[in-house]
Amino acid sequence: MIRSLETSSSALVAQRIRMDVIAGNIANAFTTSTAEQDGEPYRRRVVSFREGDGSGHAGVHVDEVATDPAPFRLVYAPGHKDAIRQGPEQGYVRMPNVNLTIEYVDALEASRAYEANVAVLGVTRTMLNHSIELFA
C-alpha cells in the first residue's frame, strides 16, 4: 500500500508541474517578444511524462518541458511595435502559438487527474487505517 501512496504522490507532483506550465502558457498568450528568445514571440511549452524516476521508484514523473514547434499565428496590426516592417508579411505581428481553448482543456484535464489522485490517496489512507485496526 505504501507503493500506491508513492505512485499517487508522484502523480500529484507531475500534474502540479503541468498546471504551472499551462498557467505560464495562458499568461504569455499575447507576449509578442521575449528577451530569452531573441525577440521571438513566446513559444508554447508542453510537458511530457515518463513512467518511474529511473531509480526503480514507481509512479509518473515529468520527463521534459519542451517548446511546441508549431508555427506562430499572424495578426494584422501595422501599428504594433513588433509588426513586421518589410516583405510579404509587412504589417503582421507574429503572435505566440498558444491556443487558449486548448490550454483551458489541458488545465481541466490536469485538474481532474489531480483530483483523481487525491481520491486514490484518500482510499489508500482509509485502507491503511483499517489494516492497522485489524492488527491492533
What average pLDDT does range 50-63 have in this prediction?
81
| Residue 1: pLDDT band with limits 50, 70, 90 | low
Based on the structure, what is the number of domains in the chain?
Answer: 1
The whole model's pTM is what? 0.86
What average pLDDT does range 44-68 have in this prediction?
88
pLDDT of residue 54: 65
Neighbour-count burial for 70-90, b at 16+ CB within 10 Å, e otherwise: eebeeeeeeeeebbeeeeeee
Q: Which three cell numbers stand for residue 122?
A: 484518500
Q: Residue 97: which domain range?
A: 2-135
Q: Each residue of 24-55: pLDDT tens digit?
A: 999 999 999 887 767 789 999 999 999 876 67
